[in-house]
Structure 1
Amino acid sequence: MKYLIILCFVFTWSSGAQNNMQVEPKLENCAWISGNWKGEAFGGQTEENWSEPSAGSMMATFKLINDGKVSFYEIEIIREVENTLILQLKHFDNDLKGWETKNETVDFPLKEITENKVVFEGMTFEKVSDTEMNVFVDIENEDGEIQIVQFNYKKQ
């Protein structure tokens, strides 16, 4: 019985460890992000729609809805650059006036990628299941402190 318990522990540990093993920084290894996702954050409803990988990139649109009105939009891309991945985005007011200047993007270089997690500097995608993911975003408040905001999404 004692050996059975140890064997079960080793099997469970090794199964979990496999999900945390690093994989190549290729789009096909984060294709699970693709789909139409809905959740809540910033006191409103969020929508994020990711394309399947194609032509070396994935793209997404994001919108935040508060009190039945769009607060802001984002256009996001993950692309392969020099044997790694980078996430880039631009923000827009509800009338599509850009937050960043014309040629400026907010860039998140890749730090780590596993079977169920893609960690960029300042943004992490975590696969909970085939129909649920968490996105964690580092946001600087007025005091200059970094707060981590969690977006819990369900696939539609």
Structure 2
Amino acid sequence: MKLVIPLFFLVCLSITAQNTLSLEEGATSPKATLLDVEWMTGHWKGEAFGGITEEIWSPPLGGSMMFSFKLVVNGMVNFYELGHIKEVDGTLLLQLKHFDGDLKGWEEKNDTVDFKLVKLEPNKVFFDDFTLERISDQEINLFVVVGDNDGNQEEVQFNYKRQ
């Protein structure tokens, strides 16, 4: 019986992050262009973290696709993200910065949160702990591994519908 509890715990941990992948140490990102993620272009809305989420993605231009994210809880902006996916050395890199509702940055001035490309599938793009999934022309999922101040991590799903 003592073995069953740790085994169950390990199985539950492996189940919690089934939609994201991590880039192995020393691995290189596969070749890719913005054409591989162009389907993200548009205005998307969903629900997460107890509120309304919104993402707006621009079409490819100048070697990048820009995006903005907003979380509104109880009628107030909780936080924003601004970022882009850009072509770098024949592959893709997703970078973002967080801001509170008053546009005060969370990261240091010159720091970004970076997600290297791990794998491409026809309707899924796996960045390091961040996955974009095309369900249809009108629906997408984003999966991201988030952590808390205690070092705990979990995979969160965002489901969006095109606006």
Under a length normalisation based on structure 2, what TM-score does the superposition of the two structures give? 0.80
Contact 1:24-1:113 within 8 A present in 2 as well? no
CA distance in 1, matches of 2:78, 2:104: 12
- Higher RCO, 1 or 2 (CA under 8 Å, sep at least 6)? 2
Contact 1:48-1:61 within 8 A present in 2 as well? yes
Structure number, greater radius of gyration? 1
* Secondary structure at the counterpart of residue 59 of structure 2: coil
CA distance in 2, matches of 1:63, 1:105: 17
CA deviation after TM superposition for structure 1 residue 131, in Å? 0.4
Letter of the structure 2 residue corresponding to residue 110 of structure 1: L
Letter of the structure 1 residue corresponding to residue 46 of structure 2: G
CA deviation after TM superposition for structure 1 residue 86, in Å? 0.3
1:1-150 to 2 correspondences below 5 Å: 24-150=31-157
2:161 match = 154
CA deviation after TM superposition for structure 1 residue 148, in Å? 0.3
* Secondary structure at the counterpart of residue 28 of structure 1: helix
Give the root-mean-square deviation of aligned CA atoms.
Answer: 1.1
CA distance in 1, matches of 2:102, 2:150: 28
1:6 match = none
Percent of pairs with identical residues:
56
Equivalent residue pairs, number: 134
Contact 1:36-1:50 within 8 A present in 2 as well? yes
CA distance in 2, matches of 1:30, 1:93: 27
CA deviation after TM superposition for structure 1 residue 24, in Å? 4.8
Structure whose residues are more often helix by fraction: 1
- For structure 2, which runs of at least 5 residues remain unmatched after alignment? 1-29
Letter of the structure 2 residue corresponding to residue 27 of structure 1: L
Contact 1:30-1:118 within 8 A present in 2 as well? yes
Hey, which bits of structure 1, 4+ residues long, moved more than 3 A?
none
